[in-house]
Structure 1
Amino acid sequence: MLPRIPTCSRLSPRAAFTTIRSLRQPAHDLDDLPPSENDFIVSILRANPSLRDTRSYLASFGPRPKPPAAPVRLTPAADGLATKPSIPVVLEDAKPSPVVSSILDPVIKRTALVKMQGPFTDVQLESISRGLVYLEKLGLVSVIVVESDAVPRGDHDERAFLIEETMRIVTTLEKQGARARPVLGSVVRLGPQPEEDDNVVDPPEAHTAPSDFIPIRSALRSGEIPVIPPFALDSFCRSVRVDADDVLGALARGMTQAGSTSDDVDLTPMRLMIINREGGVPSYARSGYPHLLINLTSEYSHIHETFHHPWRHSNPTALSNLALARTCLSYMPPTSSAIMVSHRSPSSLIANLITNKPALSSSLPHALLQGNRRLTPHTPTLLRRGLPIRVIRSLSDIDRPKLNALLEQSFGRTLDEPAFYQRLETALDFVIVAGDYVGAAIVTNEPSHSSAPAISYLDKFAVLPSHQGDGTVDFLWVALHDESYGLGHPFSANPNGGKGGVGEGHDLVWRSRTDNPVNKWYFERSSGHVRLGPWVLFWCDAEKRLKVEQAKRANAGVSFVEDWEEGRLEMWSDVVEKIPSSWKK
């Protein structure tokens, strides 16, 4: 007897068992609309922020709540007369209009380190400057370090050229409505920081002193964007040209240490933006198109190993900028991120500021990403400090107290530990752990009632609330893809301590309550879904098998239900509905 599938009740019986794939197309993109790409309002609309994104943005840039005003006490008194006890009289302020409130209580200004890696034409520079001006309107003020590949190190006229380029950027910013200030004096000192932290990989060959931030802080306090050429003071107090990456690394460390020493200027950088002509870091998994999101902690070496030789000519500074991002983010707050973007996509900086996410989620199905018009050679790469990812296959290797805390905080329920771990003793396939148990994906093998192989079931997928929105969810799902339905593809050979992409992929199945707010995220990443009473059953088809089937069919077309699909939803539904709850009632 077939299970009841409410959402498919109006379809034919065979239609209820059809795998849903290749039917979802990307939503109509606002890039197709007539307004200019850099139009401020349209750029904000392109960001399409979620409610969580909006709250996160307002937490950083929104007005700070003010403490309630103390009551005013009026005490009648006169010479020669006894005074009565004071009577508190509260004088309530009249509520100002929203317009007045916005003027009296502006958004909080935060800083971003920006590497402008030219040379750029006047048109390109105007486009970039317009994007930076828009960021300033949203509360993010750029501290710009100038670099130009047009003049080699040691060139006779390099100093004059870089000063001229600095002034050109200042002039262009002011034409776009911003106030900018050239900071031509050296703001960093040549040589490593005294008592450098040994944990920092590839530390910059420059450092700062507290007094070096006086011109930067003065510019920011005056509402001006500081524009800095890559000069440093050597041991003889001479100003010499250095690599802009060393200046940015020194500023990242020094500005983070300086932090907020006054009420109006917070030097702590929350973004690193690398604006160049080549865009992000090419990815072997996307046929040379850029990486969407990079976990620097676990992927840095792997990216170097899989960096194809031709990219050293088409993207000559990709790896050096990757190293720059790793160095700067090692100093900056954990919530900070870096973005590598082409001059062709300045409006994407607004989307990154508001959402702190890549232009496209790296955990989306590969077929959906490959057919997405928003994935181009100029799609930006978002980089985060990230977390180590590892795969655990033995129950004895799991830190149970940490896993328990993760699950209970994520789901807001009390785990039935004895029953939960007793089930895992016989059913566990693997556990993917992010960092120190800030996220985990638990996959089990569920026996079927036929000669079919065991069902690969995603039993738990959890991320601590404090790490939701920092990339951990995508990092974890990509590792889950690589260990289950993505096995067998070269692009599944990511460094997560698992099988390295070697093996046969298998369908991944899971269930979720119909009222789970995460279901929208699941819909986007699954091959299909059906309703099972209070549950939604999701699945991801083994990608290698889909590719083989597609090759077999060639131009013969696809049947409504493939032979290998017959009966599987019935089997999955029967097994999944009987899996016991892991929670105490």
Structure 2
Amino acid sequence: MILQKTALKKGQEAAGHNIQSWAKRRRRGGSLNDQNTRYFASGSKAKSQLIEDTKSNNDASPANNRNSSRQSKPIDRDFFLSVLGSSATKRDARSYLQAFTPPTENQSLSRKPPVAAPKSTGHGVNLGGFDGKARAVAESPKFVQPSGKLETNVAEPPLHVALVKIRSPQDLDNETLDGVGKTLSQLGHLGLISTVVVDCGSSPEDDSHALSWRDMITKQTERIVRAIDIHGQPGARVVDNAIGVSEEKTPESNWTKGRAHVNFRKLLMTPLRRGVIPVIPALGYTDVVQTLVPLSANEVVLALTRELAGLQPVMKPDTDPMLVRDQMVSLQNEVSLDRLIVLDPLGGIPTSERPNGYHVFLNMEQEYEAAKQDLIRASYSGAQENLPTTGSTEAHVTDIGSSNPFSKFVESNITSFPSASPDAPTNGYTSTDCRHHLENLDLVRKVLSILPPTSSALLTTPDEAANSGKLPEGPFQATGVGTRRKRNPLIHNLLTDKPAFSSSLPVGRLGPAASATQGGSPSYSSITPTTFAKHGMSVTIFPDPKVSPWEPPGPENPGLRLTDPRIDLPRLVHLIEDSFDRKLDVQDFLKRIDGRIAGVIVAGEYEGGALLTWELPPGVPDDGSPESRARMVPYLDKFAVLKRSQGSGGVADIVFTAMVRDCFPNGVCWRSRRDNPVNKWYFERSRGTWKLAHSNWTMFWTTPDGDLDKQKFLDYEGVCRGVQPSWADNKALVD
């Protein structure tokens, strides 16, 4: 790995210093001018706040410098260990360096020609115009074509920013909050500057309690600032008057606009350019009478998202639309909003489809509705637990409505009230917990729909965000992973832009469970409750298994053909050839799989895909009888991802998860050459493997152990040995 190699060559402290120097050079090379300032009625207050911020950043006492230098070594050491604990691969490190490497120190926004100094003698005496040409000749206009090299504008790289929402900081102890502050400071050293929004819950309607709520959110905001400041410069600062509140009502369906907006962009951008973390309470000033009013933290996050994404340029009735467009482009090039980070005591988005109970990766384009319905069902079930057992379902819904305002949302969104799966973990969620999860899910969807596809969201607990990567305390355990450093999900996500582990990875492959219950089933409480989300891509499956499960072809089911108009065959062929880097014999391929296609999975615009077939084991007659159809084996014939999408975006995980979850939950088999570099990925996701003797093939399957008998295993082996490749190169490979 690149970072690890740097450590071996230069040592821990040197590597930590180098990583920090990247961020320092970035801040030093940035411009402090802001041409997009919005003036407001309370502008004097904002101006004074900027002056105080400038003084606090420039007036550093010698004592403070000595203290910071005294603390730099332990901070660098812990920071270095935390980065190494993230275990970024060489490809991940290369992508990170390409995205976050700052410009060189001598790079500026524009190159100007040097100004000629007055000519002097060797003794340093200025001779003015006595030694040289006449002044009139020297100052006469010259029609000379200027050099293009001198006037070339060098675009400044965008400032990488993360929006961080911390929910219920009043419930966090000082140690946890200190760990969160340390992690946010480390993210800044790695080039990702955070903007923190403080969420202390909704404000009570009672005026007396509302005043105490404002005092609490102010106290918690200052507490978060102190937790960041103790980890060295540049630290953090409170920005409590940048958010404005308009009285115009905006439809909830249109989240590109809202009543909360950023009135003072300069208050936000000035600390960000200096590497200072703005900490913003969920409060805003009304546009008309300048009254301080409470806001929901999600409203503030969306307002900051719209501002940093360049969707709120200065608009006037007579503004030229072309100028507005240019201003939006300028704002978008100024900041790159790369991450939304939600630190919630409840953790990531729960699901009933995984043993550990949490979504590992959420493809919002495909899985948002399913995840939302799952949460609504859990909310309904949680509310029912507190109701009397007598009465009809309609009466229960009425009772929920009288005691739980969230029921209106449930009734208006859920399509039905099916009972949860008996094997699904309940995790002890109440309807209030599910409401918080639904709010987080809705926030992630709205933010990612505004941002570019490269942006992502991470939802985890403050305890996980506070993890420094140190060795766990307690007695040594010979089994399990007791001596392995625990990854910090925030730093790991920054370096890799991936979840802590692959979403297509079986839970049993994540390492030994924390403990075993009395019933013998493992406990997955040690698995990080973290969810990584992206806007993602759509997944199209032909035929749709939700309409009818995939079944072997027969007289009444002729099967799918690749010539089906719903399938773009040229793009599918290009996907296979680009992924395998080999030319496909299309005619031979179509002839071989004709009448045997089980289905096709397509991710996005043919960025990834899988083609699955039904294969007959050797010796079984192909007569279409029920006996032969029962012996047909589901076989993964082609699994392909475009080269430009390999290792990023989770395309392979999306396709594989759709295959084993939606298409063949009872198992599928495939084969791969023993020297295939993808085999490690296959080994991790399969239930079993078998090296086929006297051949160059390795067989894989995902069939549960209880369903794999001797006959099925032999059928798998016979199919994997008998399938003939359909490549156009006709290379004599020893298989």
Q: TM-score, normalised to structure 2's length?
A: 0.59
Matches within 5 A, 1:65-464: 109-118=159-168, 119=170, 120-149=172-201, 152=204, 155-157=209-211, 158-178=213-233, 179-190=235-246, 205-208=258-261, 212-236=264-288, 237-257=290-310, 261=330, 266-287=334-355, 289-307=357-375, 308=378, 309-310=381-382, 311=429, 312-314=431-433, 316-346=435-465, 347-369=488-510, 371-372=512-513, 376=526, 378-393=528-543, 394=560, 395=562, 396=564, 397-451=566-620, 453-464=631-642
- Secondary structure class of the residue paired with 1:280: coil
1:507 aligns with 2:668: yes
Query: In structure 1, what residue type is equivalent to 2:645?
Result: H
- Secondary structure class of the residue paired with 1:240: strand
Greater strand content: 1
Residue 71 of structure 1: how far off its partner (Å) = 13
Residue 63 of structure 1: how far off its partner (Å) = 4.1
- Secondary structure class of the residue paired with 1:134: helix
Residue 280 of structure 1: how far off its partner (Å) = 0.9
Is the contact made by 2:246 and 2:260 (CA closer than 8 Å) also made in structure 1? yes
RMSD: 3.7
Aligned counterparts of 2:612 and 2:433: Cα–Cα separation in 1:
41
- Relative to structure 1, the CA distance from residue 320 to residue 370 in structure 2 (aligned partners, 3 Å threshold; closer, same or farther) is farther
- Relative to structure 1, the CA distance from residue 348 to residue 579 in structure 2 (aligned partners, 3 Å threshold; closer, same or farther) is same
Aligned counterparts of 2:204 and 2:706: Cα–Cα separation in 1:
48
- Cα deviation code 1:75-95 (max 9, x no counterpart): xxx969xxxxxxxxxxxxxxx
- Relative to structure 1, the CA distance from residue 303 to residue 192 in structure 2 (aligned partners, 3 Å threshold; closer, same or farther) is farther
- Cα deviation code 1:399-450 (max 9, x no counterpart): 1132233223333333333333333332311101112222111112222213
Aligned counterparts of 1:108 and 1:128: Cα–Cα separation in 2:
25
- Relative to structure 1, the CA distance from residue 112 to residue 523 in structure 2 (aligned partners, 3 Å threshold; closer, same or farther) is same
- Cα deviation code 1:267-290 (max 9, x no counterpart): 221000001211111120224622
1:580 aligns with 2:726: yes
- Cα deviation code 1:328-351 (max 9, x no counterpart): 111112111101110111122111
Aligned counterparts of 2:512 and 2:267: Cα–Cα separation in 1:
48
Query: In structure 2, what residue type is equivalent to 1:286?
Result: R
- Cα deviation code 1:235-285 (max 9, x no counterpart): 52433211110111121122112788599x942210000012111111202
Residue 291 of structure 1: how far off its partner (Å) = 1.2
Query: In structure 2, what residue type is equivalent to 1:275?
Result: L
- Partner residue, 1:482: 661
Aligned counterparts of 2:181 and 2:711: Cα–Cα separation in 1:
55
- Cα deviation code 1:300-324 (max 9, x no counterpart): 1211222323423555511110111
Residue 457 of structure 1: how far off its partner (Å) = 2.1
Bigger drift between 251-260 and 136-145 goes to 251-260
- Relative to structure 1, the CA distance from residue 538 to residue 192 in structure 2 (aligned partners, 3 Å threshold; closer, same or farther) is farther
Matches within 5 A, 1:548-563: 563=710
Residue 121 of structure 1: how far off its partner (Å) = 2.1
- Partner residue, 2:86: 47
Aligned counterparts of 1:547 and 1:313: Cα–Cα separation in 2:
39
Aligned counterparts of 1:153 and 1:405: Cα–Cα separation in 2:
61
Aligned counterparts of 1:300 and 1:536: Cα–Cα separation in 2:
39
Is the contact made by 2:337 and 2:451 (CA closer than 8 Å) also made in structure 1? yes
Across the two proteins, how many residue pairs are aligned to each other? 484
Residue 570 of structure 1: how far off its partner (Å) = 4.5
Is the contact made by 2:670 and 2:720 (CA closer than 8 Å) also made in structure 1? no
Greater helix content: 2
Aligned counterparts of 1:567 and 1:534: Cα–Cα separation in 2:
16
- Relative to structure 1, the CA distance from residue 565 to residue 223 in structure 2 (aligned partners, 3 Å threshold; closer, same or farther) is same
Aligned counterparts of 1:357 and 1:375: Cα–Cα separation in 2:
21
- Partner residue, 2:650: 471
Residue 462 of structure 1: how far off its partner (Å) = 1.6
Residue 582 of structure 1: how far off its partner (Å) = 6.1
Aligned counterparts of 2:584 and 2:453: Cα–Cα separation in 1:
30
- Which segments of 5 or more consecutive residues in structure 2 lack a partner in the other structure? 1-73, 115-130, 134-155, 312-327, 383-428, 466-487, 515-523, 544-559, 621-627
- Secondary structure class of the residue paired with 2:700: strand
- Relative to structure 1, the CA distance from residue 234 to residue 584 in structure 2 (aligned partners, 3 Å threshold; closer, same or farther) is farther
Query: In structure 1, what residue type is equivalent to 2:259?
Result: A
- Partner residue, 1:490: none
- Secondary structure class of the residue paired with 2:353: helix
- Which segments of 5 or more consecutive residues in structure 1 lack a partner in the other structure? 1-34, 73-77, 81-105, 487-504, 550-561
Aligned counterparts of 2:308 and 2:112: Cα–Cα separation in 1:
36
Is the contact made by 1:416 and 1:584 (CA closer than 8 Å) also made in structure 2? no
Is the contact made by 2:244 and 2:286 (CA closer than 8 Å) also made in structure 1? no
Aligned counterparts of 1:150 and 1:201: Cα–Cα separation in 2:
22
Aligned counterparts of 1:234 and 1:467: Cα–Cα separation in 2:
46
Q: Which has the higher contact order (CA 8 A, sep 6+)?
A: 1
Aligned counterparts of 1:219 and 1:284: Cα–Cα separation in 2:
42
Residue 509 of structure 1: how far off its partner (Å) = 1.5
Query: In structure 2, what residue type is equivalent to 1:255?
Result: L
Aligned counterparts of 1:566 and 1:386: Cα–Cα separation in 2:
36
- Secondary structure class of the residue paired with 2:221: helix
Bigger drift between 385-394 and 526-535 goes to 526-535
- Cα deviation code 1:552-575 (max 9, x no counterpart): xxxxxxxxxx63466346513431
Query: In structure 1, what residue type is equivalent to 2:222?
Result: M
Residue 132 of structure 1: how far off its partner (Å) = 0.7
- Secondary structure class of the residue paired with 1:217: helix
Aligned counterparts of 1:474 and 1:424: Cα–Cα separation in 2:
25
Residue 107 of structure 1: how far off its partner (Å) = 10
Aligned counterparts of 1:114 and 1:390: Cα–Cα separation in 2:
33
Which protein has the larger Cα radius of gyration, Structure 1 or Structure 2? 2
- Secondary structure class of the residue paired with 1:357: coil
Is the contact made by 1:110 and 1:266 (CA closer than 8 Å) also made in structure 2? no
Aligned counterparts of 2:525 and 2:89: Cα–Cα separation in 1:
21
